[in-house]
Amino acid sequence: MTNPTTDPGAIEDWQTVRTMFDRIVPRYDLMNHLMTFGMDIRWRKMIATRAAAMGDCVLDVACGTGDVALAIRAAGARQVAGLDFSPVMIEAASAKARERRADVAFLVGDAMTLPFPDNTFDACTVSFGLRNMPDYTAAIEEMARVLRPGGKFICLEMTPYRTPVLSSIFTFYFEQIMPLAGGVLTGDTTAYRYLPKSVAAFPTSTQLVMLMRRAGLTNTHVTMLGGGTVAIHTGVKSQELGVRRSHLR
C-alpha cells in the first residue's frame, strides 16, 4: 500500500509516459469510452460543471485531447486553458477546439511547473492525469499555487479497487481484457498494461485526501463513482495559503 509520507509518484519516468501517450492519441478517446462503458463522458461533464460554477477562469491540467476543457467552456466558463505535456495530445485538443469553434487555449507544458502566476484560476481540474505525475503532493501544491484563494481543486481519477466481492472480476477485466482490447484497437498493449499497474500503485482515496491536505487544501470532499473504481476529489485553497504563498515570493 502506498505510504503518503514518502511523496509517491508515477511508476514510470515522465519521458516514458509522454512517449506512451503520444503513441495512443488516435484511439485515445475511443479506448476511454470502451474501458468505462461510456461513463467517462458523464464523469467529465460532472467535474466540468463543478469547475465552471467556481468562476470564469479555469485551468485543466493533463488535458489530453481536450474533452474536459471543452466541456468547461460549454458549461459557461469564459476563460479556459488546457495544458498537457504531450504535444500530440495538444494537437488533437486544438483540432477539436477549431472544429467546435470553441474558444479554449491549449498549450504544451509541465504540470510540475505551471506557466501561470500565483492566484490566477477560479478552479483547476485534472482528470485521469495525476497518476502520471512524478510527485503527487508537489503536483497538487503546484495546482493549488495557481488557484485564487477560495478556488477549487477538482481531481477525477481511478482509485485502487478495494471491494472484496467484485475485486476479482474487476481485476480480471482491468488486467487481462482491457490490455488485449487496447492492443487490438491501438496496436499498443504496453500502454494498457501500464494503466492497471499505475492504478494499483496509486494512493487510496483516503491517502489522496491526506496528500491534498498536506498541499494546503481544505474542505476536502470525495465522491465515489463507477462502483468504487473512480473518485472525484475536491479541495479548496484557503485564504491563509494564498497569503502565505504571496509572502514567499
Residue 36 Rama label (left phi>0; alpha psi -120 to 50; beta) = alpha
Percentage of the chain surpassing pLDDT 70?
Answer: 85
Q: What is the CA radius of gyration of the chain?
A: 17
User: The domain spanning residue 120 has which CATH number?
Assistant: 3.40.50.150
pLDDT digits (tens, 9 = 90+) for 212-221: 999 999 999 9
Give the pLDDT confidence score for residue 166 in this predicted structure. 56
226 grid coordinates: 463507477
Give the pTM: 0.88
* Least confident range of 45-49, 146-150, 186-190: 186-190
Average pLDDT in the chain: 88
Q: Which of 131, 127, 136 is nearest to 93 (CA)?
A: 127
Q: Which domain holds residue 145?
A: 4-248
Give the pLDDT of residue 2: 40
> Is 155 in a helix, a strand, or coil?
strand
Q: What is the pLDDT of residue 1?
A: 37
Amino acid 243: pLDDT: 60
Query: What pLDDT, in 10s, does the model give residues 75-91?
Result: 999 999 999 999 999 99
Burial class of residue 46 (count of CB atoms within 10 Å of its CB; 0-12, 13-18, 19+) = middle
DSSP state of 215: T
For residues 208 and 98, what is the distance between their CA atoms, to the nearest angstrom? 36
Question: What one-letter code names the amino acid at 55?
Answer: G
With cut-offs at 50, 70 and 90, classify the pLDDT of residue 4.
Answer: very low
The number of folded domains in the chain is 1
- In this prediction, residue 185 carries a pLDDT of 66
Beta-ladder partners of 217: 237
